[in-house]
Chains A and B, each alone.
Chain A
Amino acid sequence: MVMLLLGLPKFSMAAQADRFSVQAALLQKISHLMAWPEKALKNTDRLNICVLGNRATYEQFTQVYRNISFFGKSVDSTLLDRSTPIDSCHILYFDTGFKKEASQFARNNQGKPILMVGTEAGLASAGVHLNFIVKKGRVMFELNRSAMTSSGFKVSPQLLKYASVVER
């Protein structure tokens, strides 16, 4: 496994924003090395990121992702609640502190063309497609290849060189 190491700022509001920026940058780089299922993004010109987290961090997330585009599409973000239809989401972002819910979501939405991105250790094994973790002050990401495959995502071999691959 090739590890991509990025510097991780201290945990604070500002640090929270930096964390989102690093992840966004990483996610943006990763997006160059994978492909969305063919029909998933066919009829939309915007990418909807649904965030599972608290409102405060959501606001930070929104600020970071406001000016970012993935796959050539502008990003919309939605704070996930019970009324939010999952199928409207293209990316599910599980913020720190929601590991249990994230695992549940992962189980419930397996095989759907929704890229699930976690931020806590063990979520990749739980079925989340990409999981950003911090080791020794460095941001790394895990990639569940089987989840990716079952959801119809195509992954570049080059990406596998920089990810911690989870086969479950």
Chain B
Amino acid sequence: MKGIKITSIRSKVLLIVALGISLALTPLLATIYLYSYTQYKDAYIKRVDTEASRLAEYMQGPMAFSVNEDAQTLMSQVSMPDSFAIVACLADGSEWLNHTYTRFGAPAAHLTPSCDQKSSGWTSNIYHVRQPVRDFSGEVLGNLSIAVNTDTLGQSLYRFTLVTLASVLVSLTLSFFAVRILFRSVFKPMKALQDRSHKVIENRDYFTELPVLANDEFGQLSKTFNAMLAAVRGHIAERNNAVHEMNLLANYDSLTGLPNRTLCMDRLQQALKEADDSKLHAGIMFLDLDHFKDVNDSLGHRLGDLLLVTVSQKLLSCLPKRATLARLGGDEFFVIIPDVESAQLVEEYATKCCQSLSEAIELEGNQIFTRASIGIALYPDHGNNAEEIMRAADAAMYSAKESGRNTYRVFENNLSQAIKRRHKLANELHNAIPDRQMYLVYQPVISLVEPDALGFEALLRWQHPELGSISPMEFIPIAESSGLILELSDFVLSRALEDIGNIKALLKNTPHFSTEKLRVAINLSAAQFKTEDLVSQVVDQASHYSIDLRHLGLEVTESLFISEKAMACQVLESLRVLGCTVSIDDFGTGYSSLAYLSTLPVDTLKIDRSFVDEIETSFNDRTITLAILRLANSLGMDVVAEGVENQAQLAFLEKQACDKAQGYFFAKPMQLKELPEWLASPAHMQKKA
């Protein structure tokens, strides 16, 4: 059974108050009513009794002297509140006189008082009185029997009850309305709170505060509600900030503040649609900084980041306001120029960008020369959708790199082949080692001071079954970007150690060289130093092939000591202790400070081939080469000259007391199986002599 549901607190409290008042008043009113009822009834009875008593007193004489007239007169003068009948009885019980009186129209016919009546009392609505008439000494002369029709009393009591109930009802009704009015006043703040809450829900209006209408609990509730609104506003502001921040993070590059790849794609789609609508073109530029990795490696990531910020600002200054410059990641930028009529305009912007970036950038005392390769593509000429147009710009950018960098190229259809090749290599590099497509070649390193000392630099080669020999210049960057560089490095280490044994065996049969002085050098990548187990890996592999680590040379670039100096020094020092020698490859092209060269665990400096190439004709290259030689000499390091290709270069180096030389003048890099023939040939000895 469903009861009546009272949902508002005001109605509940009102009901409680009404019940409380009713419970409190009901016994009181009932008591008052019963008291009044009894009083009224008692007064009625008393009046009847008094009148009867008075009559009895007056009847003393007429009854004593039996004077009927007087008695009759007295009885007729009796005043009762209702119709009544009297019988005067003598002492012997006989009826003497009687009298009936009708009042207020109440019937009296049924009033039959009798001399047999023994006492006063009630019969239905008739009140009977038996009143003795006594003489002066108290002796009973006779009796009066009176019957009173108490209809009037009943009616009066009925009216009294009705009036009482009506009064109670009126009082309760008035109280109800008075309490209701009072409650409306008391609950006004609650109503305001309720209305305000609805507005908050419906309109999401968190800013209009609730007026504090009272100083009681409702007032406190209003204040608390306002505090809650303030807290909600705070949360909303926090959420909005978080959303804004998330939007920024989702769509903008945190370093440069430029749109990221996501937003870039969105803008690109927009630009393509606008181009469709306007029947114009959308110009796209794919921009990649040249050798940015070197900056990162040599100057550290912090300066690399600063450089990216500076570059982004420079690029922005070169582009029109309607253009979108986005950073796709690393050193890749993307430019969208909507509504262009031809590629010529885009080329003008690309030229401006190249020129601007070619200017030296000063960062914390370092002068950095950065370059950019830019690929240009035009929608819809070079692609029908965003993906195609990006691929086209990417291909054009690689074309620009291959063209010598610091320039731009507009997409041509044949460029897409380069992109396809790069993707093919990236995909197939994974299987190159398992499929035995990778192998090592060894280029001899000739000692110019020790006739019996011979070394080799192990170089990795990739013989692709379809594409033929792939240059390390092509696949190493792909390996670095795809994370396969570690796998390739492990392969080089393992294969070189294995081959050292073979080379030693070959040298045993060669009278000119000492196997004890054999050194085979491998190039270590920076990624290998980031693994924790390089030293143990070298030791384990050497142990596996039973190779003394004195035969192993390790070549690193200058940038390694700048980016990871402490760790690199620790690892290399450990390996030196085990017998390995350490060389700095391509020395002179990096950014290393000569001041801390003495603190590095390095045995040999390898002069970059670019200095050796022009050593005969370039004063600068000669000066640098000599400086490196003197520096190494003063630090007790050996020097290896790379890229020696003729006798004149060798002669100069020998004259300047260069320790070792390497280059096509002595031998090209060769496979292990070619070594015996080369060793057997006296040509290398003749060139050195």
Query: With an 8 A cutoff between CB atoms, is A162 at the interface?
Result: yes
Query: With an 8 A cutoff between CB atoms, is B136 at the interface?
Result: yes
| Bound form: Cα–Cα A50–B58 in Å | 33
Query: With an 8 A cutoff between CB atoms, is A4 at the interface?
Result: yes
Query: With an 8 A cutoff between CB atoms, is B139 at the interface?
Result: yes
- CB neighbours of A72 from chain B (8 A): 137, 139
Shortest distance between the CB of B576 and any CB in chain A (Å): 157
Q: Mark B127-155, 1 if CB is under 8 A from A, else 0.
A: 00000000111010100000000000000
- Contact B60 A158, beta carbon cutoff 8 Å: yes
Query: With an 8 A cutoff between CB atoms, is A66 at the interface?
Result: no
**Chain A interface mostly:** mixed
| Bound form: Cα–Cα A74–B97 in Å | 30
- CB neighbours of A162 from chain B (8 A): 61, 65, 67
- Contact B64 A33, beta carbon cutoff 8 Å: yes
Query: With an 8 A cutoff between CB atoms, is A156 at the interface?
Result: yes
Query: With an 8 A cutoff between CB atoms, is A35 at the interface?
Result: yes
Shortest distance between the CB of A34 and any CB in chain B (Å): 6
Query: With an 8 A cutoff between CB atoms, is A161 at the interface?
Result: yes
Which residue on B lies nearest to A34, using beta carbons? Answer: B136
- Contact B137 A158, beta carbon cutoff 8 Å: no
| Bound form: Cα–Cα A34–B65 in Å | 13
- CB neighbours of A46 from chain B (8 A): none
Q: Mark A118-160, 1 if CB is under 8 A from B, else 0.
A: 0000000000000000000000000000000000001110110
- Interface size on A (CB < 8 Å)? 16
- Contact A156 B61, beta carbon cutoff 8 Å: yes
- Contact B136 A33, beta carbon cutoff 8 Å: yes
Among B58, B61, B67, which residue has the most Cβ atoms of chain A within 10 A?
Answer: B61
Shortest distance between the CB of B352 and any CB in chain A (Å): 147
Which residue on A lies nearest to B62, using beta carbons? Answer: A158
Shortest distance between the CB of B229 and any CB in chain A (Å): 94
Query: With an 8 A cutoff between CB atoms, is A71 at the interface?
Result: yes
CB contact between B64 and one of A32, A35, A71 (< 8 Å): that residue:
A32
Which residue on B lies nearest to A156, using beta carbons? Answer: B136
- Contact B137 A29, beta carbon cutoff 8 Å: no
- CB neighbours of A158 from chain B (8 A): 58, 60-61, 64
Shortest distance between the CB of A63 and any CB in chain B (Å): 24
* A-contacting residues, B25-51, CB 8 Å: none
- Contact B136 A29, beta carbon cutoff 8 Å: no
CB contact between A71 and one of B65, B66, B67, B137 (< 8 Å): that residue:
B137
Among A29, A32, A155, which residue has the most Cβ atoms of chain B within 10 A?
Answer: A32
| Bound form: Cα–Cα A31–B135 in Å | 9
- CB neighbours of A4 from chain B (8 A): 65
Known interface pairs A32-B141, A33-B60. Does A154 touch B65 (Cβ–Cβ under 8 Å)? no
* B-contacting residues, A17-56, CB 8 Å: 29, 31-35
* A-contacting residues, B91-141, CB 8 Å: 135-137, 139, 141
* A-contacting residues, B53-94, CB 8 Å: 58, 60-61, 64-67
| Bound form: Cα–Cα A159–B136 in Å | 10
Which residue on A lies nearest to B57, using beta carbons? Answer: A158
Which residue on A lies nearest to B134, using beta carbons? Answer: A32
| Bound form: Cα–Cα A161–B65 in Å | 11
| Bound form: Cα–Cα A86–B141 in Å | 32
- Contact A154 B136, beta carbon cutoff 8 Å: yes
Which residue on A lies nearest to B60, using beta carbons? Answer: A158
- Contact A35 B137, beta carbon cutoff 8 Å: yes
Shortest distance between the CB of A161 and any CB in chain B (Å): 6
| Bound form: Cα–Cα A155–B66 in Å | 18
Shortest distance between the CB of B66 and any CB in chain A (Å): 8
| Bound form: Cα–Cα A128–B592 in Å | 172
Shortest distance between the CB of B54 and any CB in chain A (Å): 13
- CB neighbours of A71 from chain B (8 A): 137
- A to B CB contacts below 8 Å, 11 in the list: A4-B65, A32-B141, A33-B136, A34-B136, A35-B136, A154-B136, A156-B60, A156-B61, A156-B135, A158-B60, A158-B64
Closest 10 CB pairs of A and B: A158-B61, A32-B135, A32-B64, A156-B136, A158-B60, A29-B64, A35-B136, A33-B136, A29-B65, A33-B64
Told that A32-B135, A33-B61, A156-B136 touch, could you supply 5 new A-B pairs with CB distance under 8 A? A32-B64, A33-B60, A33-B136, A156-B60, A162-B61
